[in-house]
Structure 1
Amino acid sequence: MKANIKAISYYLPKKILSNELINQEFPEWDIEKISSKTGISSRHISAVDEFSSDMAVKAAEKLFVEYDINKSEIDFLLFCTQSPDYFLPTTACILQERLGLNTGIGALDFNLGCSGFVYGLSLAKGLIAGGMAKNVLLITSETYTKFIHPEDKSNKTIFGDASAATLISNEDGFCSIGDFIFGTDGKGAENLIVKQGGMRFPVSNENDDVTDEFGNVRNDKNLFMNGTEIFNFTGEFVPKLTHAILEKNNLTMEQVDLFVFHQANKYMLNHLRKKIGIPESKFFIAMQHCGNTVSSTIPIALYEAQKQSMFIDKKNLIIAGFGVGYSWAACNLILK
């Protein structure tokens, strides 16, 4: 049984952190330099009392209204986040009640970052192919900015908060979901990590701030990203991932009409595009207005591409997510 993406919507918090505001706080960071290197002019920041579930509700409700979706037909809810409301209960269970979904549905959280949307599509496809669900609501929602130290100017320029809601169905949609490739390499776990807050390293009250060679202030309660190692990881694995997903779906580079990768930052994306040999006309970037929103970057880009009529007279679309874990995944979407 085929699984199809019927609709995508997304929500961005009201508070905006522009490059101008970052420059006011860190005058040594030139506005144009930030824009040209990251490809980001502004990012949205969740309010102090706004959490992943709150954004998820707004994204899902927007989806229901925008596409006139009968939520009583949803029979499974998948929620991807690395910033859940609680350790327990499961945030997806809370979302079932807040969204007014049937109590006869399945609901679960899964913890993945930049590869999360692609993994979520695979889970939804499996549920539909196995006859366990007909309409799966996949929500990605992340508040990474709550993990970032106020004086960590590097990560502040890159990450933004967002939530995206996607309906996957056994009924017709704007594209069907093809085959997948997955990958995992846990040896890179500490290169993108929030060390404290779990069971192994509970939150400490000590002030353990450390300033790196670039003037970024961090501690083990905050998001740490080893930019060099992450860049090296993507440069090694994403080209292999791209060629593997083409082979898995019996496609050549020429047969793919559009590539949508995880929107990490413009510099990294262009480096990957050139290394893989993807023409610029076939490579879609949509992060200027929201930044790197982790698991929501791909659905946001797909929404914007569809809005800009990028899917007209197109057939094959390759999406790829990669990052924290290390974790990576790709799949082919067949446009209709």
Structure 2
Amino acid sequence: MTANIKAISYHLPQYELNNVVIEKDFPEWSIDKIADKTGIDCRYIAASDETAGDMAVKAAEKLFLEHNIDKSTIDYLILCTQSPDYFLPTTACIIQEKLGLSTSVGAFDMNLGCSGYIYGLGLAKGLIASGQAKNVLFVTSETYSKFIHPKDKSNKTIFGDAAAATLISSEDGFAEIGNFEYGTDGKGAENLIVKNGAMRNLKTNKEASQDEYGNYLSDDYLYMNGSEIFLFTLASVPKLIENTIQKNNLTKENIDLFVLHQANKFMLDSLRKKCKIENDKFYIYIGNCGNTVSSTIPIALYHAQKEKLLQKNNTILLAGFGVGYSWGGTVIKIV
């Protein structure tokens, strides 16, 4: 049984954090410097009382409205987030109630970051192929801004909050989901981490220290070793792309468009050059929302479709990679 992407919608919080505001807070970072380094002009930040669960509900409601979807047909709900509303219960259960979905649906959270969209597509396809579900509502929602120290200018310029909702169905959709390639290397866990706040280490509320670049660091907040993440990406993603193509019995020439996790423009440009992908086959949508973690790929797909870049019989390669380390790839065939 095939699994198809039927529809995608997404939600951004109300508050816009643009480069003008960041320059005021950090005068040494000019508007042009931020845009050149990251490719990001603005990102949207969740309100203090707004959670990933709240945004997930809004994204799902937009999906139902924009695509005229009968929510009574949903029989499984997956939420991908690393910023759940509570340690327990699972946020997906709360979303089921708020959306008014049937109590016969399955629902669970998965804790993955930048590779999360690929893993979620894989799980949804497995549920459909095994006959456990016919219509899976897959929502990615993240509020990384709540993990970032207010004076951490590096991470503040990159990450934005967002939620995206995707309907994966056994019925016809706009894209058929292909085969998957996955990878994991926990040795890289310490390079993108919030060390305190869960069961291993409680929050300390200690005063943050400054690194050599003027970023404020604290184990209570998000830490990213940018240089190590960059090296991991350049080492792993080209191989991921190659293996994903092989898993689907294709050649690189068969791929009409590459849609990768939208980390930042510098990293994407480096990957495109290393993989020798033509500009017109490499889609970037990051300037108007920033790195939204697990939502970057569905947001990019939404806009690629809107720009009519997803034509019938096109083959699109999707690849996610990052925190974990974790990575995954698949292809979708536009039908």
Shorter-chain TM-score range: over 0.9
Equivalent in the alignment of 2:75: 75
DSSP-derived class of the 1:320 partner: strand
After TM superposition, the runs of 4+ consecutive aligned structure 1 residues lying more than 2 A away are: none
Which piece of structure 1 moves more, 314-323 or 294-303? 314-323
Please state how far the C-alpha of 1:313 moved relative to its aligned partner: 4.4
Whether contact under 8 Å (1:2, 1:177) holds in the other structure is: yes
Structure 2 counterparts to residues 33-44 of structure 1, below 5 A: 33-44=33-44
Whether contact under 8 Å (2:205, 2:220) holds in the other structure is: no
Please state how far the C-alpha of 1:206 moved relative to its aligned partner: 2.9
Please state how far the C-alpha of 1:315 moved relative to its aligned partner: 1.5
Whether contact under 8 Å (2:206, 2:218) holds in the other structure is: no
Equivalent in the alignment of 1:265: 264
- Cα distance in 2 for partners of 1:104, 1:259 equals 37
Equivalent in the alignment of 1:119: 119
The two structures have a TM-score, normalised by structure 1, of 0.99
- Cα distance in 1 for partners of 2:24, 2:47 equals 21
1:113-164 C-alpha deviation (Å, 9 max, x unpaired): 0000000000000000000000000000000000000100000000000000
Identity %: 64
- Cα distance in 2 for partners of 1:33, 1:205 equals 32
Please state how far the C-alpha of 1:104 moved relative to its aligned partner: 0.3
Amino acid at match of 2:284: I
DSSP-derived class of the 1:108 partner: strand
Please state how far the C-alpha of 1:252 moved relative to its aligned partner: 1.1
DSSP-derived class of the 1:267 partner: helix
- Cα distance in 1 for partners of 2:8, 2:200 equals 37
Equivalent in the alignment of 1:2: 2
Equivalent in the alignment of 2:85: 85
Equivalent in the alignment of 2:195: 195
- Cα distance in 2 for partners of 1:6, 1:246 equals 23
Whether contact under 8 Å (1:45, 1:160) holds in the other structure is: yes
Equivalent in the alignment of 1:244: 243
Equivalent in the alignment of 1:319: 318
Which piece of structure 1 moves more, 246-255 or 231-240? 246-255
Please state how far the C-alpha of 1:314 moved relative to its aligned partner: 4.8
Cα-Cα RMSD? 0.6
1:28-52 C-alpha deviation (Å, 9 max, x unpaired): 1011111112110000000000000
Amino acid at match of 2:269: N
- Cα distance in 2 for partners of 1:312, 1:78 equals 28
Please state how far the C-alpha of 1:312 moved relative to its aligned partner: 2.1
DSSP-derived class of the 1:7 partner: strand
Structure 2 counterparts to residues 214-253 of structure 1, below 5 A: 214-253=213-252
Which piece of structure 1 moves more, 104-113 or 247-256? 247-256
Whether contact under 8 Å (2:10, 2:162) holds in the other structure is: yes
Gaps of 5+ in 2: none
Please state how far the C-alpha of 1:253 moved relative to its aligned partner: 1.2
The two structures have a TM-score, normalised by structure 2, of 0.99
Amino acid at match of 2:275: I
- Cα distance in 2 for partners of 1:206, 1:58 equals 35
> Is residue 181 of structure 2 the alignment partner of residue 186 of structure 1?
no
Which piece of structure 1 moves more, 27-36 or 170-179? 27-36
Equivalent in the alignment of 2:152: 152
Amino acid at match of 2:104: G
Whether contact under 8 Å (1:260, 1:318) holds in the other structure is: yes
- Cα distance in 2 for partners of 1:229, 1:314 equals 38
* Number of residues of Structure 1 aligned to a counterpart in Structure 2: 335
